[in-house]
Structure 1
Amino acid sequence: MHTPVAIIGAGPSGLLLGQLLHRAGIPNVILERQTPDYVLSRIRAGVLEQGMVELLRKAGVHERMDAEGLVHDGFELALSGRRVHIDLKGLTGGKTVMIYGQTEVTRDLMAAREAAGATTVYQASNVQIHDPKGERPWLTYEHNGETHRLDCDYIAGCDGFHGVARQSIPADAIKTFERVYPFGWLGILADTPPVNEELVYATHERGFALCSMRSPTRTRYYVQVDAEEKVEDWSDDRFWNELKARLPQDLASKLVTGPSIEKSIAPLRSFVVEPMQYGKLFLVGDAAHIVPPTGAKGLNLAASDVSTLFDILVKVYQEGRTDLLQRYSEICLRRVWKAERFSWWMTSMLHRFPGADAFSERITATELDYFVSAEAGRQTIAENYVGLPYEPVDTQPEEALHVTSQCA
């Protein structure tokens, strides 16, 4: 079997790329190791940048998102009891974010792909990449007890941090940058009304907390915990009590608690691999970079990678612009590193670091106060939170430097 574009991974990035390519008349095949039900069981991000919202509309999978998603004009920072509103819409010239769960994005993309009759092979095991630097790369995989071969022009590795795509690149051909944080996020999902109409990021001497939501009746809450903590040691009552202790009193007093639907601990890390391509293999999303979730950038960065790769492939197939293929990594990495910086900054400002001395704690508190007390500081936070602009793929390098400097 041959396809112009082979996509590894049927998460939101792989499905979104496949949907965009299909609508542009570029056939593609997706290989996914897990079952559809397993993919939909992943509880992940729920804050979509305006750029990703517009990309989903471009892909034609926006109807349910527009009907059920919650448009947020801002969010709150709770700084040891003091509440500061970040007016996203007012500070960015009208930009907003959308609260719509990753699971729902994936569900919409799955439905669109099925309706289009595009090929997705679920439970494709032992996927292997062959000759990615050659003229005709190809994949092998096992399905229903048989080995299959898939020839293609290009390969998109949308298979996550632990996937085969990045592991198929020789170690001496890439460089990795990583920081592992000494804490994690304990999160629960509950069918309870949100404690606040906007997200609340809270810093407290006991540690960080986040009040998020999936809908007007379903909430997602997090508290910072030590990296060695076990989820089984946290009863629902213990979680709710700890969350209340870290919130301002007026919020804690109206927090509605209830049994958790899902409970898990996520480690935090910053990770980037350079370059994000190897021959005709392109790394997309978590396969190339990880951010701590504090800045709500993980899924959104994957979407911007998808947008860049899609725009390049359209130019290749419609205009013969193969010269743009080598620009994928540099274009993506400019935006990736800015999102990494913002996520690192939010994480550093709002969390308690074990062993931090009194001077470091005062500097952190002063830095945060400096940003939130001035409109220019709040504007910087807002511009990064709603998402920096996507860079056009045919912009000349010197023009790109000018564009990115305006957004820094």
Structure 2
Amino acid sequence: GRDIIYEISEECHRQVVFVRSSQEEVAALTSQLIKAVDQYELKEQKARNHLAKVSEEFYAYSETEIKQAFEKVRQAHATLIRLRQQETFLRKRRDELDIQLRKFQKIASQADNYLESTNLALKILEGNIDKLTDSLKEAQKKQQIGLWIVEAMEAERRKMARELHDGPAQTLAGMLIRMDLIDVLCQENVGEAQKELDSVRQMAHDALDEVRRVMFDLKPNVIDESGLLVALQDYFDDYESKYNFEIEFVHFGSMPQLDLSLETALFRLVQESITNARKHSGTRRVLVKIECMDERLCLVVKDEGCGFDEAQIRETKKDSYGIIGMKERAELLGGNIQVLSSPGEGTQVIIEVPTEGEENSGG
């Protein structure tokens, strides 16, 4: 879960850089347009002065010369109107970029603060876990605290999803509308301008798709409605189509009714394991297996990719796979996680959590 928020923070920081670059481009174009407007204002005034002279000395000019004088005024005026429209649009675009920049900076700041507060909360809870009521068993204490933490994190994710929807998603949709307006305004400049317009429009489409994907990752609503198995299947179907990545999903035994927070935590662990496999395994296929036993649930994510040296990871203490965080979360849920891997032999993530007493908990 923290890794997802970290990715959002990183993406927002990248967008801040991109928006600032766009602001510089718009500023340069605006400066050029202002100069062009000034030039055409002089041209129009010169043409009008000439037309006034022609009108005063009407009989001194031929019919062709009179028509040319009128046409020069008309062309200069039409060009001036078009340039002023483009200048107005660029000023609006500049204002929109200012708003976008503030929104991305706000979300990045909130994500950074969330990561800091979550890390601090986890450290405090882990440091004081032994001070809870002695009547609770150690395993029950850890699992309950884990569920509390998951609930708090999910609430923050829902808040972040709403802000993404009301902020960047709406802004990006507005960008697409503005691109169509530029298309109309730039009919006279077909060549490179049109290519650049198409490129910017595609970037906006891609960014909008990415924001929607992040929103889904943050809050998989189907868990609330249909439970873990359906949520996973929907997620896998969506993941396969987006990344051309095959996920074989099998499950055995009768799935108990689990607490919503526990189901969500398991969903996040699977989500992270799938992402690791896609990014690091070098293969395009994984197997996900869920087995429901008497008082526990076993979940396996297996790939046949390049694998990695577990001993080397431990020695270097480089947790690029997020293994340490995954193990901490599994332990807080009263379960455990094993990551089995070796170079050339693929990777297997095995997650086990207790389900005793969960059947009547709702979910």
Q: Give the TM interval when normalised to the shorter protein.
A: under 0.3
Q: Say which one has the larger Rg.
A: 2
- Bigger strand fraction: 1
> Could you say which structure has the greater relative contact order, defined with CA pairs below 8 angstroms and 6 or more residues apart?
1
